[in-house]
Amino acid sequence: MRWKLEPDLNSERRNYLSPEKAILVNIIETNNWQRPIYFSLGCNPLALAGLDEYFQLHGFVHKLLPFKTRGTEHAIHPDKIEQVLLVASNIKNLRDIDDHNMPRVSNILLNYYSVILKLADYYSKRNQTKELERLADFMKRNMRVKALPKAEHVMESIEDYPKP
């Protein structure tokens, strides 16, 4: 892995790494690729110091890989996403969110739709029509959530992906 990390704190005499970036370096060095390193989907991209080029979408987290993944087939792990997301029992409580007063939950739900759209895009680019249809069917049966703004647009965009 070749990753250039620039100091992000400056004084008149020296440049420094911020504590958050120093922690990133420490995590990578300490794990030394012996254990996987994961980042939340909610991480601020600015705090990641360019590591996002090495991320693989791995369910609801990003997994750090030792090579650049952006724009490659390694940018997404569809099997892991399906394992986590496309199991009805894992999302069985989504439907009754509309019945509760939880105004901040829609931000979390955006992650569900974001991951599903990335998976749909992955399938579309590979002309995997059956997988796209299965994904759309799963969403129709399990993920109709009115609490999420514009939920219908997400469904429509998946159904409208180009078919070969």
Segment 97-130, tens digit of pLDDT: 666 666 666 567 778 888 888 898 899 888 898 9
Mean pLDDT value of segment 78-83: 92
CA distance to 7, 90, 99, 100, 145, per residue, from 93 (Å): 44, 8, 11, 11, 10
pLDDT of residue 27: 92
Does position 64 have pLDDT exceeding 80, yes or no?
A: yes
- Asked which of 25-29, 90-94, 132-136 is least confident by mean pLDDT, the reply is 90-94
Strand partners, 63: 38, 56
Tell me the residue range of the domain where 70 lies.
1-75
Which tokens in the block code for residue 54?
Answer: 């090495």
Do 66 and 96 lie in one domain? The reply is no
Select from 30, 49, 75 the last residue of a domain.
Answer: 75
pTM of the model: 0.79
Do 109 and 63 lie in one domain? The reply is no
pLDDT in tens, 28-47: 999 988 999 999 888 877 77
Select from 56, 75, 94 the last residue of a domain.
Answer: 75
Domains of the chain: total:
2
Angle of helix 105-125 relative to helix 151-159, nearest 10 degrees, comes to 10
Do 20 and 99 lie in one domain? The reply is no
Do 101 and 142 lie in one domain? The reply is yes
**pLDDT confidence band for 96 (50 / 70 / 90):** low
Does position 79 have pLDDT exceeding 90, yes or no?
A: yes
Do 63 and 12 lie in one domain? The reply is yes
Does position 50 have pLDDT exceeding 70, yes or no?
A: yes
Select from 59, 75, 91 the last residue of a domain.
Answer: 75
Do 68 and 134 lie in one domain? The reply is no
Do 71 and 86 lie in one domain? The reply is no
Tokens 């750090």 correspond to what residue? 64
Do 71 and 81 lie in one domain? The reply is no
Do 43 and 65 lie in one domain? The reply is yes
Do 85 and 69 lie in one domain? The reply is no
Do 19 and 84 lie in one domain? The reply is no
Do 68 and 25 lie in one domain? The reply is yes
pLDDT of residue 107: 66
